[in-house]
């Protein structure tokens, strides 16, 4: 369908616009497209009328589209203006192509043509309401997102703070573990020694450089040194020694737990000093003065240092007590060791060596004396234990044996009486012993043993035998026993070795290999060497036997040598020397 009108006035233009709107509505052009079409057409017609001249308006509907054309006469040489719009459906009836020319009809037609505009405006209002609704929703959503971001930020900060607190707690726990480990290791190192000088030497090595830059150990060697030290000491150290409380001397307070603040030291004004007393059960035995490894100490490190100093004080006190008791015991023991009697034809040589570590003083002892009948008694023994108690018991056994020997009696009888004596005197103390008797007029050695390593006898030909006949049990055990005597022939040039287990026993090897080494060392001598220098021979026996540097037991060795140049029986010599 095609409609064509001439346009020469505004009335013609209005009728063309109205007709176009009706046709578009009849062919189902959507209101929005109709409004756009009408608005564009009105603008074009207004432009044409302002130019004057003859214009032709054409509306064509064909194949689902609406085509509007405004063309000028060919004289203007202007290209036609064309606009199209889709037509979804054909018109249900023919649309008239004339609009009434009177004003009333035209006005009504114009009002009807503006219905599309009103509909578009109504739709636009709805869209504006919808946009406003969505704008509110979007604003609320934005507010929620902002609130969520704020919560996430707060949660992130809380998480970061929790992580920081965890790292700090872990660091503090690691520092505490490190301090406890150091304290345990340092305490073990200090208490491992019973030499107070060694403990003093170890202290700086333990603390420098991690916990202190310098370490000074001031020990009170005399009761009045705390009041008047022999060398200049910091005032804080003197106060610590007098009061028994830790002191901190610096230009600013240290804030260290349990430590009193003092002014800077006049001896070291530019360095903070931590002066900690070395405590004992009675009074401080010295003061430890430290300078910090950095500017100042961590309070926890200071607490650890005070505790370590307390333990060092205990270790030093124990070491001094041990050294005091050891000196007493050693003095007592050496005072009780017998001067060997001189007997023509019979030489005696003895050696005693304390253990190289431990208490050093045990119950090892030897003795040699004559009985009223002229017999020579030689004895070597070992009381269990170490220290003053063992030394005292050794002295009592030695005295008891000499008392029993006055009444006579063979070695077995004497050991039996010592067994009874020890069992009643000290039921929880035991001893071992060997007694050998050289009897006048008889070239025979009589001996008896009670739980002791067997004697070793070297013959004049250099052959060595172990006198391992059945011995008695240890002295003092809760058992009645009668200890038997044993005899063996003696010839000039023979040498008897009595010893304690410290000479031959090693924990990793036992006692038998040691006895074999002793027998080999004794058999290696020539008779002339033993005749000429029995003391030197004893020394040469000890050297290979004690090649290891540390011994945990005392050592006793007693050599009894019959001179090989003797032509008479040993008994005559003994009688001559009695």
Decide: 20 and 34 in contact? Cβ < 8 Å: no
pLDDT-based confidence at residue 10 (cuts at 50, 70, 90): confident
| Torsion from C-alpha of 238, 241, 243, 245, nearest 10 degrees | 100
Going by C-alpha positions, the residue among 561, 511, 573 that lies closest to residue 533 is 561
Regarding whether 297 and 345 lie in a shared domain, the answer is no
What are the phi and psi torsion angles at 51 (to 5°)?
Answer: -90, -15
How many whole angstroms separate alpha carbon 448 and alpha carbon 556?
18
305, 330, 355 - which closes a domain: 330
pLDDT-based confidence at residue 25 (cuts at 50, 70, 90): confident
| Torsion from C-alpha of 473, 474, 480, 481, nearest 10 degrees | 40
| 118 CA to centre of own chain | 89
Whether pLDDT at 2 is above 90: no
Regarding whether 66 and 33 lie in a shared domain, the answer is yes
Whether pLDDT at 302 is above 70: yes
pLDDT at 28: 82
Regarding whether 510 and 398 lie in a shared domain, the answer is yes
**91 falls within a domain:** yes
> Which domain range does residue 532 map to?
337-577
pLDDT at 243: 92
pLDDT at 307: 93
Angstrom distances, CA of residue 295 to CA of 204, 211, 485: 19, 12, 78
Regarding whether 409 and 315 lie in a shared domain, the answer is no
Max distance between CA atoms of the chain, in angstroms, equals: 187
Question: Could you tell me which residue, 64 or 555, shows the higher pLDDT?
Answer: 555
pLDDT at 425: 82
Among all chains, which residue has been given the structure tokens 């029993």? 404
Q: Is the pTM of this model over 0.85?
A: no
Decide: 444 and 487 in contact? Cβ < 8 Å: yes
Decide: 493 and 562 in contact? Cβ < 8 Å: yes
Whether pLDDT at 574 is above 60: no
Give the CATH number for residue 217: 3.30.450.40
Whether pLDDT at 311 is above 90: yes
Give mean pLDDT, residues 165-171. 90
Percent of the chain with pLDDT over 90: 39
| Torsion from C-alpha of 257, 263, 269, 272, nearest 10 degrees | 0
Give mean pLDDT, residues 111-138. 79
Going by C-alpha positions, the residue among 327, 387, 396 that lies closest to residue 359 is 387
Residue 63's contacts (CB-CB under 8 Å, 6 or more residues apart) are: none
**138 falls within a domain:** no
Least confident of 232-246, 325-339, 450-464: 325-339
Least confident of 107-111, 281-285, 343-347, 412-416: 107-111
pLDDT-based confidence at residue 226 (cuts at 50, 70, 90): very low
Regarding whether 412 and 277 lie in a shared domain, the answer is no
Whether pLDDT at 222 is above 50: no
When divided into structural domains, the chain yields a total of 3
Average pLDDT, the chain: 84
Decide: 232 and 243 in contact? Cβ < 8 Å: no
Give the CATH number for residue 370: 3.60.40.10
pLDDT-based confidence at residue 560 (cuts at 50, 70, 90): very high
Residue 199's contacts (CB-CB under 8 Å, 6 or more residues apart) are: 190, 193, 312, 315, 316, 319
pLDDT at 528: 87
**404 falls within a domain:** yes
pLDDT-based confidence at residue 551 (cuts at 50, 70, 90): low
Instruction: Give all strands of the β-sheet with 464-466 in edge-to-edge order.
Output: 346-353, 555-562, 495-499, 456-458, 464-466
Regarding whether 249 and 101 lie in a shared domain, the answer is no
Q: Annotate 212-230 with b (16+ C-beta within 10 A) or e (fewer).
A: bebbbbbbbeeeebbeeee
Residue 10's contacts (CB-CB under 8 Å, 6 or more residues apart) are: 49
Whether pLDDT at 538 is above 70: yes
Regarding whether 402 and 323 lie in a shared domain, the answer is no
pLDDT-based confidence at residue 225 (cuts at 50, 70, 90): very low
Give mean pLDDT, residues 273-296. 91
Residue 86's contacts (CB-CB under 8 Å, 6 or more residues apart) are: 29, 33, 64, 65, 66
Regarding whether 443 and 419 lie in a shared domain, the answer is yes
* Structure tokens belonging to residue 462: 């250099």
Whether pLDDT at 448 is above 60: yes
What are the phi and psi torsion angles at 313 (to 5°)?
Answer: -60, -40
Regarding whether 289 and 435 lie in a shared domain, the answer is no
Decide: 521 and 544 in contact? Cβ < 8 Å: yes
pLDDT at 418: 94
Question: Could you tell me which residue, 17 or 430, shows the higher pLDDT?
Answer: 430
pLDDT at 204: 92
What are the phi and psi torsion angles at 402 (to 5°)?
Answer: -65, -35
pLDDT 10s digits, 381-419 = 998 877 677 778 888 888 999 999 998 899 999 999 999
How many whole angstroms separate alpha carbon 46 and alpha carbon 538?
148
How many whole angstroms separate alpha carbon 54 and alpha carbon 137?
56
Q: Is 114 left (phi over 0), alpha (psi -120 to 50) or beta?
A: alpha
Least confident of 43-57, 304-318, 357-371, 440-454: 357-371
Regarding whether 347 and 295 lie in a shared domain, the answer is no
């Amino acid at each position: 369908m095609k409609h064509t009108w001439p346009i020469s006035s505004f009335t013609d233009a209005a009728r063309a616009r109205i007709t176009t709107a009706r046709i578009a509505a009849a062919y189902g052009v959507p209101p929005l497209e109709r409004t756009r079409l009408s608005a564009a057409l009105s603008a074009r017609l207004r432009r044409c009328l302002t130019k004057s001249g003859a214009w032709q308006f054409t509306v064509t509907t064909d194949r689902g589209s609406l085509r509007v054309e405004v063309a000028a006469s060919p004289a203007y040489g202007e290209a036609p203006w064309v606009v199209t719009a889709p037509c979804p459906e054909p018109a249900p009836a023919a649309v008239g192509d004339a609009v009434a020319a009177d004003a009333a009809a035209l006005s009504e037609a114009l009002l009807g043509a503006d219905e599309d505009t009103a509909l578009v405006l109504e739709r636009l209002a709805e869209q504006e309401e919808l946009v406003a609704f969505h704008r509110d929703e979007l604003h609320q959503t934005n507010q929620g997102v902002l609130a969520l971001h704020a919560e996430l930020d707060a949660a992130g900060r809380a998480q970061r703070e929790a992580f920081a607190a965890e790292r700090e707690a872990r660091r503090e726990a690691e520092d505490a573990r490190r301090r406890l480990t150091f304290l345990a290791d340092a305490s073990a190192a200090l208490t491992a020694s019973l030499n107070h000088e060694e403990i003093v030497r170890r202290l700086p090595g333990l603390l420098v450089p991690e916990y202190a830059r310098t370490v000074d150990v001031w020990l009170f060697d005399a009761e009045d040194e705390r009041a008047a030290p022999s060398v200049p000491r910091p005032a804080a150290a003197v106060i610590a020694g007098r009061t028994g409380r830790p002191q901190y001397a610096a230009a600013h307070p240290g804030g260290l737990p349990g430590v009193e603040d003092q002014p800077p030291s006049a001896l070291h004004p530019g360095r903070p000093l931590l002066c900690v007393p070395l405590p004992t059960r009675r009074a401080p035995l010295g003061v430890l003065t430290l300078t910090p490894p950095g500017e100042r100490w961590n309070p926890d490190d200071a607490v650890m240092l005070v505790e370590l100093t307390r333990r060092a004080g205990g270790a030093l006190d124990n070491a001094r007590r041990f050294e005091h008791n050891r000196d007493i015991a050693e003095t007592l023991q050496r005072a009780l060791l017998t001067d060997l009697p001189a007997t023509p034809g019979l030489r005696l040589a003895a050696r005693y060596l304390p253990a190289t570590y431990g208490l050093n003083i045990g119950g090892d002892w030897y003795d040699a004396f004559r009985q009223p009948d002229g017999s020579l008694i030689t004895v070597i023994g070992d009381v269990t234990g170490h220290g003053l108690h063992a030394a005292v018991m050794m002295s009592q056994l030695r005295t008891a044996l000499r008392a029993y020997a006055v009444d006579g009696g063979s070695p077995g009888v004497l050991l039996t009486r010592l067994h009874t004596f020890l069992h009643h005197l000290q039921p929880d103390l035991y001893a071992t012993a060997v007694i050998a008797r050289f009897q006048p007029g008889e070239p025979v050695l009589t001996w008896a043993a009670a739980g002791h390593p067997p004697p070793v006898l070297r013959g004049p030909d250099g052959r060595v035998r172990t006198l391992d006949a059945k011995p008695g049990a240890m002295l003092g055990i809760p058992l009645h026993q009668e200890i038997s005597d044993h005899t063996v022939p003696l010839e000039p040039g023979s040498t008897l070795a009595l010893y304690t287990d410290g000479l031959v026993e090693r924990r990793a090897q036992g006692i038998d290999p040691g006895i074999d080494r002793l027998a080999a060392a004794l058999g290696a001598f020539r008779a002339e060497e033993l005749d000429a220098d029995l003391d030197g021979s004893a020394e040469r026996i000890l050297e290979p036997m004690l090649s290891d540097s540390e011994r945990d037991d005392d050592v006793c060795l007693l050599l009894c040598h019959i001179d090989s140049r003797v032509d008479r029986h040993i008994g005559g010599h003994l009688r001559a020397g009695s």
